[in-house]
Amino acid sequence: MPVFAANLTMMFNEWAFLDRFDAAADAGFAAVEYLFPYGATPEAIADRLARNNLQQALFNLPPGDWAAGERGIAALPGRFDALKADVERALDYAAATGVRRLHLMAGIADPHDEDAVSCYRRSVTYAAGRLAEKGIDLLLEPINGRNMPGYFLNDFGAAERLIAECGLPNLKLQFDIYHHQIIHGDVTMALRRLLSITGHIQIASVPSRNEPDGEELNYAYLFGEIDRLGYDGFIGCEYIPRGHTLDGLGWFKPFARS
């Protein structure tokens, strides 16, 4: 069975960020992920991981000016120098946390714009090459347009084609089941087709993005399918708890670390 990673950006918001590591470990998680570690020092995060015996499953490279609406800069012309600096900053945190996969956000851009397409490919190629030097995978995640209007990478087929064209062994798909269901549906057949290029999976209910224990997806079936397909990576719990985080962990009890 894969290892579930608590997403500390979405879950455990009842605690301050660094205390969420302790709360997730106490709740039985063996791994964590979050969007961005950059509000804390690498040392502080490394300390929380060590004292809670947690694995760092994933985090994102810096996304540009998030508060101003940026959702990554990889597809934004004129930002390549900033992207290179962001890669180095993320690698500092990767060295401290031992993470082996990083997600590169593309940005708000037209996927049919030639400049954006060539800029994105240049950014992906550069970042994957730099991460490969450290034995780290670079992940690309298609995101649905309801949650992130105008996001450049909004289709799993486009991600699949780019990964194939680049042919880089450490360039992989971040398969967020929540996004795939909204964009394409047909999750099981997509998992069977794409698992060989998948570096990370994330889960949430659809349409509310809550705990994976209700609404239109049957996660008990999907967890079994992921197991049958032999996936042994992490599954990121990137969901918004309906109420208190701890009250919504009934689904997790069979998988919790004792």
Q: Which residues bind Mg ion (CB under 5 A)?
A: 176, 202, 238
Q: Which of 8, 30, 56, 60 binds ligand LPHNJNCV (CB under 6 A)?
A: 60
Does 96 participate in binding ligand LPHNJNCV (rule CB under 6 A)?
no
Site string for ligand LPHNJNCV, 228-257 (x = CB under 6 A): ----------x-------------------
215 is catalytic: no
Pick from 163, 254, 184: nearest CA to 212: 254
- Cβ 258 to ligand LPHNJNCV shortest distance, Å: 29
Of the residues 14, 133, 141, 215, which is catalytic? 141
- In what helix (H) or strand (E) does residue 149 lie, and over which residues does it extend? none
Site string for ligand LPHNJNCV, 18-37 (x = CB under 6 A): -----------------x--
Pairing of strands 198-203, 171-176: parallel
Name residues contacting ligand LPHNJNCV, limited to 98-157 (CB under 6 A): 103, 141, 143
The Cα–Cα gap between 124 and 126 comes to: 5
Q: What is the DSSP secondary-structure string of 83-111?
A: HHHHHHHHHHHHHHH---EEE--B-B--T
User: Contact, 4 vs 29, CB < 8 A?
Assistant: yes
Site string for ligand LPHNJNCV, 179-218 (x = CB under 6 A): -----------------------x----------------
Tell me the backbone φ, ψ of residue 193, rounded to 5 degrees. -80, -35
Burial class (CB in 10 A: 0-12, 13-18, 19+), 27: middle
The Cα–Cα gap between 197 and 110 comes to: 25
* Single-letter residue type at 121: R
Structure tokens at 22: 């302790």
114 is catalytic: no
Of the residues 43, 160, 215, 238, which is catalytic? 238
* Single-letter residue type at 164: A
- Cβ 239 to Mg ion shortest distance, Å: 10
- Cβ 92 to Mg ion shortest distance, Å: 23
- Cβ 176 to Mg ion shortest distance, Å: 4
Binding-site ranges for ligand LPHNJNCV (CB under 6 A): 35, 60, 103, 141, 143, 176, 202, 238
Q: Which residues are catalytic?
A: 141, 238
